[in-house]
Amino acid sequence: MMLDSIRARLLAAAALWLTLVLLAAWWFIGGVLERFVTERFDAEAAVIAETLIAGVEPGADAAPALVEVTRPPADPRLSLPLSLWSWQLETADGDFIARSPSLLDLALEAPPGSYAGQPGTGPDGEALRVMRRVFTLPGVEPPLAVV
C-alpha cells in the first residue's frame, strides 16, 4: 500500500497541515482586509460629511428650504453621474434640500438617525454603505442631515 511508508505518511500529513494553515491564513487576511477597507471607506465618508456640513449656511429666512450649500466637497467622484459616491442634504425628517451632481435627479434612501457605515439603498435599488449625520445650524429649524 502507498501509505505504508513513513515518507508517504509524512507527505500526506504535511500536505494536510499546509492546506489547513493556508485556509486559516486566507480567512484571517480576508477579515483584516475587509475591516481595513470598510474603516477606510467610513473615514472618507466622514470627511466628506464634515466638509459638506462646513459648507452649509442658512439662507435669508433661515428656513430649511433656503439653506444653501455654499462650499460643496471638492472630491471629483461626487460629480460623476451615477458614480455611487454621492451626498444628499435633507431635514432630519427626510425632506430633500440638496444633492450631489452624481445623483442627477435621484434620491438616496437612508434609515433615520445618525450613524456611520450602515446598509442602505441606492437610487436604483442597489445595496450601498451609507453614513448619515444629523446636525443643527444656529437659527435653523428643524435639524438637518447629511446622507
Q: Please say if the pLDDT value at position 19 is more than 90.
A: yes
For 67-121, the pLDDT digits (tens) are 888 888 888 888 888 788 889 998 888 888 888 888 888 888 887 888 888 887 7
CA angle at 99 for the pair 51 and 66, rounded to the nearest 5°: 85
What pLDDT score does 11 carry?
93
For 32-71, the pLDDT digits (tens) are 999 999 999 999 999 999 999 998 888 766 555 668 888 8
Residue (of 69, 57, 71) closest to 140 by Cα position:
57
Q: What is the pTM of this model?
A: 0.76
Backbone angles phi, psi at 146, to 5 degrees: -105, 125
**Mean pLDDT over the full length of the chain:** 86
CB 16 within 8 A of CB 101: no
Tell me how far apart the alpha carbons of residues 123 and 73 are, in angstroms, rounded to a whole number: 20
Tell me how far apart the alpha carbons of residues 54 and 71 are, in angstroms, rounded to a whole number: 8
